[in-house]
Amino acid sequence: MARERPMAGTATATATEAPALAAGRWPLVAKHLQRQVVPRVVLLLVCALYVLPFYWMLNTAFKTHEELRLYPPTFVPEKLAWSNFSEAVDYIPFWRYLANTSTITALTVLGSVISNPLIAYGFSRIEWPGRDKVFYIVLATVFIPFPVLIVALFDIFANLPRPVLDGWRLGWEGNWINTYLPLVVPMFLGNAFWIFLMRQFMMQVPHEISDAARIDGASEFRIFSQIVLPQTLPAIGVISIFAALHAWNDFLGPLIYLQDEAKYTLAIGLTFFKSQRELQFNLLMAASTLVVLPVIALFLLFQRAFVQGISLGSIK
């Protein structure tokens, strides 16, 4: 039985369609590279840029004194010197500084969680004359740098008597300098940026819910605490993280107001450790690692609440 010969036009059409298909696929491949591959490569490079200092800190923290003197430096420790961490803790009053920093951080978070939602509620849910103008004035204070206020704030705190309990009687003596009051009390009075964040979040809560509660006889505080506040928990979580990071990493505030070495925080304690003693980079990096670990753990534990609070607060 004779085989049928393929038509010459079919072979020509197939040869013509192959380059056309390849040319049609190239825009799809380029689009995929532009949208999927290139952004991920850029993100990986940026991530590596930010991770590099942490890696070098850990790398130095595990090196011995002899290995630190090697040139060129090694990128992986030849032997993990775990003893550097115990020596770093004993080299400075680390646990005292840790207790001081934890106390200030806890009080800062407490003050921020109490004050900022209350102030933001007044700016977002209650109508009163000049509300928006006052809010804009408060928001404008974000652009005032802290160094501009140092002299004025120090003068105010130096002339404010501090409360002292004498048995059951409340007395006043001295001033706020060399105490934790200048670092903690302002947090109970609100922060302009955190107030703005909470206000934007609370404005998304339907006003009809508050109006219905008022018709039922609920007070403003009850509406705030039982209706609005539970719906703003992600934003409160973000404020707590911001406040904790601010207090944990604060260097300028303790440097200005604290004069007793026993009251220093970790940030200022490490700096004095570098300037007053023989500088040993491996011990310094070991102590710095111990200081940074709580911050990293805090973000890893609450990163979902952090991202959720930021994203929801930006959608109107």
Domain ranges within the chain, ordered by starting residue: 22-51, 86-314
* 125 secondary structure, DSSP code: T
The predicted pLDDT at position 14 comes to: 52
Say how many CA atoms lie within 13 Å of 134 toward its Cβ.
11
State residue 140's pLDDT score. Answer: 92
Number of neighbours of residue 214 by Cβ within 10 angstroms? 13
pTM over 0.75: yes
Lookup: tokens for 18: 């192959």
Residues of the chain below pLDDT 70? 1-34, 272-278, 305-316
User: What phi and psi values does residue 191 have, to the nearest 5 degrees?
Assistant: -130, 135
CA distances from 290 to 10, 98, 102, 266, 285 (A): 73, 10, 13, 10, 9
| Cα–Cα–Cα angle for 182, 266, 192, rounded to 5 degrees | 40
Helix, strand, coil tally for the chain in percent (to 5): 75, 5, 20
Judge contact between 237 and 117, C-beta under 8 A: no
pLDDT at 22: 53
Rounded Cα distance between 32 and 45, Å, is 19
Contact 145, 283 (CB under 8 A): no
Q: Which residues contact 183 (CB under 8 A, 6 or more apart)?
A: 104, 108, 247, 250, 253, 254, 257
Task: Work out the number of other CB atoms within 10 angstroms of the CB of residue 220.
Answer: 15
- Per-residue pLDDT, 316: 47
173 token code pair? 């003596």
Residue 249 CA, distance from chain mean position: 10
Q: What is the pLDDT of residue 314?
A: 52
Q: Are 116 and 232 in contact (CB under 8 A)?
A: no
d(CA 58, CA 142) in angstroms, rounded, equals: 35
CATH 1.10.3720.10 fits 86-314, yes or no: yes
Q: How many CB atoms lie within 10 A of CB 74?
A: 12
pLDDT score of 276:
54
Residue 85 token pair: 């961490």
Quick one: tokens of 179? 């105490």
